[in-house]
Amino acid sequence: MDIHEYQAKELLSKFGVGIPTGALAYSPEQAAYRAREMGGDRWVVKAQVHAGGRGKAGGVKVCSSDSEIQDVTENMFGQKLVTHQTGPEGKGIYRVYVEAAVPILREIYLGFVLDRASQRVMIVASGEGGMEIEEISADKPDSIVRAAIEPAVGLREFQAREIAFALGIKPALIQQMVRTLMGCYRAFRDLDATMVEINPLVVTSDDRILALDAKMTFDNNALFRHPQISELRDKSQEDPRESRAADRGLSYVGLEGNIGCIVNGAGLAMATMDTIKLAGGEPANFLDIGGGATPERVSKAFRLVLSDKNVQAILVNIFAGINRCDWVAEGVVKALRDDPVDVPVIVRLAGTNVEEGQKILAQSGLPLIRATTLMEAAERAVAAWQADVKKNSNLRAV
């Protein structure tokens, strides 16, 4: 789960990370009032969306008066911000963060991520802040500092000092930098985060180290331990299909193809998508219905997949171990009887109670296309999709 910049800053500040003075606003009038409330003569207005590259897309503006803030935010609210991370559809701007401008002396990149190769939390830092880490890695790889954290003992102060010295922090600010690094690590560990990124972390001309921007991502599987984090979820920034799936306990990722997938098990779902592409098609989604594929769960999965208007065929691929093929078959039949569909449905069942499942499908009277192997299922799904597209094209021509 992602959260907004202002939320990440609020969390990090509780762990001792320095942040500039700022306030949230939901309207142009409120944004101008927040600036007057803070005082000063320069402010930064930031669109709050779950995406990087906001500055290049016009989502970050420096203002010198409250009237300028009002004009800038008038053009932001209700608009879609399109960045390299949002795709062409963009993300809606419904709130802005007004922050007091600070005198920046230098910028630093700082990130805490999970390194699956070493099975450690990895600190990635660079004295070339303000750029995306991908750009830093490509343009100035020698500037990157890495340090793995031993999980048994956590981040130690000597490690934090080594990183601070490697980044060229002057001696008078070393302790501030150590406090920032330790605070980020504690937030990462205690809140079950999967990423903490501050870009840029700035050194100001008045000798402060502040997080000018912040991103945090959390492990969905650990949110039950952190209800205060769950409450920070903003569904307006999520793919509506993925939000509906999460609310129903399904693992779903929307893609750009035309063949919808209903599969049990993440590995099998990935293999199914690869096989569809091998057969010449494009998957419309990743959908793992999990181990308990009851008829109700399968029915929910059908409705979710069909909510994507790009879906022109559906492939159901179930390998039943914990599941039962007869349950899945009942779910497929129930879903199609409750909500008839006008796209081809291909079903491949294997494993526990497969004979009973096949019997239920055969006796349903529904126009289902059955397959025995995954490759056969994918080929039939692609063929059925292409035939359906051709038929609809001919009908439109007539």
Catalytic positions are: 109, 197
Q: Any binding-site annotation on 92?
A: no
Six-digit token pair at 197? 């990124």
> Where in the chain does DSSP place strands (E)?
22-25, 43-47, 60-63, 80-81, 91-92, 96-100, 104-115, 120-126, 144-149, 193-204, 209-211, 215-218, 251-254, 259-263, 285-288, 313-320, 345-351, 369-371
Q: Any binding-site annotation on 14?
A: no
For the chain, what's the residue count? 398
How many angstroms separate the CA atoms of 156 and 159, rounded? 5
How many angstroms separate the CA atoms of 126 and 46, rounded? 24
Q: Any binding-site annotation on 99?
A: yes
Residue showing tokens 């590259």: 53
Q: Any binding-site annotation on 257?
A: no
How many angstroms separate the CA atoms of 237 and 239, rounded? 7
CB 382 within 8 A of CB 272: no
Q: What amino acid occupies position 298?
A: V
Q: Any binding-site annotation on 213?
A: yes
Which sign does the torsion angle of CA 220, 226, 231, 232 carry? negative
Which sign does the torsion angle of CA 330, 335, 338, 342 carry? negative
Q: Cα-flanking dihedrals φ and ψ of residue 6, to 5°?
A: -65, -30
3-state secondary structure of 250: coil
Q: Any binding-site annotation on 264?
A: yes
256 closest CA partner among 368, 54, 387, 89: 89
Q: Any binding-site annotation on 221?
A: no
Q: Cα-flanking dihedrals φ and ψ of residue 372, to 5°?
A: -100, -45
Q: Any binding-site annotation on 161?
A: no
307 closest CA partner among 339, 344, 337: 339
Query: What is the Cα Rg of the chain in Å?
Result: 26
Binding residues: 46, 53-55, 99, 102, 107, 199, 213, 264
Binding residues for substrate: 264
Binding residues for Mg(2+): 199, 213
Binding residues for ATP: 46, 53-55, 99, 102, 107
